[in-house]
Chain A
């Protein structure tokens, strides 16, 4: 199985900060990485597919990059509504594993 390892596990930042979350796959997976945002008590929300493509309706302050085994999710200017837990997920092969999550706090 492909392991997805996110860092950090938690992150404290201020409004307006640039925030970067990293995700490392245990093997090369091209750009088959997706990112999700989950707010407390809510279902996950789909943000980015294929490592760097923004889903329709997602604010442009979110961006993704990477290929192979190393990926990043960046929020260019943190907003209060971005407080959530973020998950990467690989869709290269089953089982479609998720990272352990990064909890973002202000």
Chain B
């Protein structure tokens, strides 16, 4: 069974930092790209970041570029999101998702349950 389990969320003050982790199991992690998607309370889905299979290609939404860093460790079947200089508008549930290769398309095919990040003083 495919499982993605996020951790590391919590309450942080504006300007603070958090590191999210996502542990994968039940599939061959090293051949999947991965992504982070967030959802502010009562709002829609917002793509945050994407990392390729090897980790050599990483992309970010403009809203987090320069503040967030995505990485992966294929030996540990895990991806990470280092979040610095956090703002109130970063408050959201953060989901990690696998991104399989479907004939050149890369949908987000499996999702974790999400971890809540709250940025507030």
List residues of A whose CB falls within 8 A of some B CB: 1, 31-32, 34, 36, 38, 43-46, 49-50, 53, 55, 85, 87, 89, 91, 94-101
Contacts and interface: CB of A to CB of B under 8 A. Distances in A.
Interface stretch (B14-22, B45-53, B71-79, B83-91): B45-53
What DSSP secondary structure best describes chain B's contact surface? strand
Interface residues of B, number: 23
Contact of A95 (B62, B102, B105, B106): B62
Interface string B16-54: 000000000000000000010100000011110010000
Contacts of A1: 62
Contact of A96 (B35, B44, B62, B103): B35
Contacts of A95: 47, 59, 61-62
A55 B112 CA distance: 18
B121 to A, nearest CB: 27
A96 B50 contact: yes
8 contacts: A34-B105, A36-B108, A43-B113, A46-B109, A46-B110, A49-B105, A89-B108, A94-B59
A100 B109 CA distance: 19
Contacts, number: 64
Nearest to B46: A98
Contacts of B46: 98
A87 B114 CA distance: 17
Nearest to B47: A96
B107 A91 contact: yes
Contacts of A45: 111
B68 interface: no
B12 to A, nearest CB: 22
Contact of A49 (B45, B61, B102, B111): B102
A38 B50 CA distance: 21
A94 B98 CA distance: 16
